[in-house]
A and B are shown apart, each in its own frame.
Chain A
Amino acid sequence: MAQHLLGDVPARLPRVLLDAASSPMLPAARATLMAALDAGWADPRRLYAESRTARALLDQAREVLAQGLGVRPAEVSFLPSGPAAIRSGLEGLRYAGRRRGARIVATAVEHSAILTTGRYHAAEAQDPSLLAEVPVDRWGRVDLSALQQALAIPGTVVAAVQSANGEVGTRQPLEEAHLLCRTHGIPLLVDATASLGREAAPEDFDVLAGDARSWGGPGGLGVLVVPERTRWRRPGPVSELEHGRTDVEPMIALALAAAEAWRQTDASRTEQSAVSSTLIRRLRAAADDLPDVEVVGDPVDRLPHVLTFSLLYVDGEALVIELDRRGFAVGSGSACTSSTLEPSHVLAAMGVLTHGNVRVTLPLSPIAETLEGDVSRFIADLPDAVATVRAHLGVPDL
């Protein structure tokens, strides 16, 4: 018998996961996923009993998420990932507005799925004006007057503003942004892949994109919301999948696991948020106490579970590896931790220090039952980890 693919993966190590931008699923979602693999394997478009079961499960998943997002089931589509939903949301709005123009307006801290798509179109058309990147302040919040100016330029057909930035936690002023968009008759795409499950679902949008991972669901499942009032059209041939908003058949087990995760997370959201906020406050105080640190992002108007800071004279890659060695998994936006040698476009747009960057994204508590103790241990270890890395670079007194 063939060896299992997972055969050589070591058993669980005593690890502290503080990079929950992607994390293991909620236990209940995992159980649902396994059960749904057996119950929902069939093609939901066939006519026999197994297919009818699959169809019912898919409909159920859609209803749960539609209710949670405050929209109608027909307005919700499942896409292969969060970034795929973001990109599709953008392309559909742009295509629907093609008789008026092709210009995209986006904050400079949007998801790369938006910025790279915009740059691609601008490069293809050899017209740099087809993407306007709206600047943000030092805290990562979009400059509303610059947004207004960008929206006023003729030929603009879509604006993209995230609900909150997943890298630095800063919330965006969606209500004000939506008002500006309406004034100019331009639809607003809201990327909520960082906030859904952690905060109330946005109400100010014309198209909304989400990622099941943000509420403890599986990877490989994005959600695209296109309300009936919105003019949106997918470029390419007509598809009969997911209300015509994708040509990739959603995997029913993933959709059902995402819906189960939503139910669990939504029911405990207020409580989760309070727990996260308290821990993030402690982490923030600990980071502030480090020598030569810049804690980035808005200190108040922010996501409850994200904290990011940059350390002078620290190699981000070395620090991530040092913390990993001590049992902590953290994220980083430093250039040396990326494959491109370019630092995070978010940190760059904010004009903050990009090297020595550490990003903590707290997991939901059912995923990390010892979270409070884990955070305490991290706080206790952090100064020594930083000192170790600085000592390697030989920067005793700068």
Chain B
Amino acid sequence: MNPASDLVNPIEVDARGLRCPLPVIRLAEAARDAPAGTWIIVLASDPAARYDIPAWCRMRDHELREMTDVPEMTDVPEMAEAAEMGGTEMSGTEMSGTEASGTGDPLAEGAQRAYLRFVVLIRAQRSKAGGTGSDSERPSRAT
């Protein structure tokens, strides 16, 4: 059930509560100096992460091994605390965004919002990519 147990010394990036594009930026920072073969686990609650983390892996030629929906839970105070810890890394502007989205939150204090968990395998680092929309990659039109 927990694939992390199979991974060797994974780096964990907790980007929960951060808005796009910050989860991808946190992931890229963690990946910057990581040697090939490094595992990175990313936790993100921003809806755009579902699309942008896979897109980043594709653009950077890293491998997305897994994307799992972790459902919302209530009455788990220690996990809520962990999420807040993740939140302390945020700068002022990011924090205000989180607070704005949090007002009127139907979840009681001590609840855990749903989030996504990604497992990324870093491949050999390469020079940064330009556009990926080149004609050579274009699939032939189906008929």
Which A residues are within 8 Å of any B CB, using their own CB? Answer: 137-139, 141, 143-145, 173, 176, 287-289, 291-301, 309-310, 312-316, 334-336, 341-343, 347-348, 351-356, 393, 395, 397-398
Taken together as a complex, chains A and B put the C-alpha atoms of A139 and B20 apart, in Å, by 23
Assuming the contacts A287-B131, A336-B20, asked whether A351 and B55 have C-beta atoms less than 8 A apart, the reply is: yes
- Cβ of A398 and Cβ of B28 under 8 Å apart? yes
Query: A291 — which chain B residues lie within 8 A by C-beta?
Result: 128, 130
Taken together as a complex, chains A and B put the C-alpha atoms of A144 and B141 apart, in Å, by 10
19 interchain pairs (CB within 8 A)?
A143-B142, A173-B142, A173-B143, A176-B142, A289-B130, A291-B130, A292-B130, A299-B138, A312-B56, A316-B20, A341-B101, A343-B48, A348-B50, A351-B55, A352-B51, A353-B52, A355-B48, A393-B22, A398-B28
User: Which residue of chain B has the shortest Cβ distance to A356 in the bound complex?
Assistant: B21
Chain B 24-42: CB-based contact to A (< 8 A → 1; otherwise 0)? 1100110010000000000
Assuming the contacts A144-B142, A144-B143, A335-B48, asked whether A398 and B55 have C-beta atoms less than 8 A apart, the reply is: no
Interface size on B, residues (CB 8 A): 34
Taken together as a complex, chains A and B put the C-alpha atoms of A336 and B132 apart, in Å, by 23
Assuming the contacts A288-B131, A291-B128, asked whether A301 and B47 have C-beta atoms less than 8 A apart, the reply is: no
- Cβ of A354 and Cβ of B48 under 8 Å apart? yes
Q: Give B92 Cβ to nearest chain A Cβ, in Å.
A: 13
- Cβ of B142 and Cβ of A294 under 8 Å apart? no
B4 an interface residue at 8 Å Cβ cutoff?
A: no
Taken together as a complex, chains A and B put the C-alpha atoms of A334 and B46 apart, in Å, by 12
Taken together as a complex, chains A and B put the C-alpha atoms of A301 and B51 apart, in Å, by 24
Taken together as a complex, chains A and B put the C-alpha atoms of A122 and B132 apart, in Å, by 37
- Cβ of B138 and Cβ of A397 under 8 Å apart? no
Q: Give B32 Cβ to nearest chain A Cβ, in Å.
A: 6
- Cβ of B142 and Cβ of A145 under 8 Å apart? yes
User: Which residue of chain A has the shortest Cβ distance to B97 in the bound complex?
Assistant: A336
